[in-house]
Chains A and B, each alone.
Chain A
């Protein structure tokens, strides 16, 4: 299992949700919330697939966050 921690100041929550929806069919994705970050746990049939799905999901979430133009970053 791979755990991805998307910091709230850097990633948009909607973008993370959208990424989970898009990659749900390739692996088992579990979403959790922590005060500072969104946590996504990726489980697949083998480690290589887990890593691939986790990497692609991370890129997808980042791309959507940037394209949404959200004003994140807190004090910056």
Chain B
């Protein structure tokens, strides 16, 4: 089990305090948090902290945060590290969602842009295959009223019994 310190529940071997410089460092594993997530989280903190990135080992990035303005305070540093860790997780998750839905986003954007090109030219219309079915319509929802009506009329004419002529029954008509 990993040892946990008071630094917002972050493992002890991950956080390092630099009292002389008024800074706190966080070692981030690049396998868990991609570089784009580290950049995104760093960018969020750049207005209130001095942020410095360094590669300490293969696959490890050290993020050093020095809160601006106020003198170094251990409690404030712990809070900053905790907030940064949360932001990092959030950015990593967002980066993963973006990666997974990239194909969908690209398809939707391409469709939107192709629709915004305006009316097709005569050449486009000439080349267009109108015989191609737009989509399957097993229930006949897309069928026009005329088609439906014509079919019904035809069927009706086939199935409707013809009225029989009245037979003369040899009697005297009234």
Contact = CB atoms under 8 A, between A and B. Distances in A.
Interface residues of B, number: 17
A58 interface: yes
A58 B55 contact: no
25 contacts: A5-B54, A7-B53, A10-B35, A10-B53, A10-B54, A10-B55, A10-B61, A55-B66, A58-B50, A58-B51, A59-B46, A59-B51, A62-B42, A62-B46, A62-B51, A62-B52, A62-B53, A63-B46, A65-B39, A66-B40, A66-B43, A72-B35, A73-B30, A73-B35, A76-B34
Interface string A30-71: 000000100000000000000100011011001101100000
Interface residues of A, number: 19
Interface in B69-91: none
Contact of B54 (A7, A51, A72): A7
B55 A66 contact: no
B39 to A, nearest CB: 5
Contacts of A7: 53-55
Contacts of A36: 55
A24 interface: no
A3 interface: no
Nearest to A76: B35
A7 B163 CA distance: 98
Contact of A11 (B21, B46, B53, B66): B53
A5 B53 CA distance: 9
Contacts of B21: 51
Nearest to A51: B21
Contacts of B51: 58-59, 62
A17 interface: no
Q: Which 5 A-B pairs have the closest CB atoms?
A: A55-B50, A73-B35, A10-B53, A7-B55, A66-B39
Contacts of B53: 7, 10-11, 62
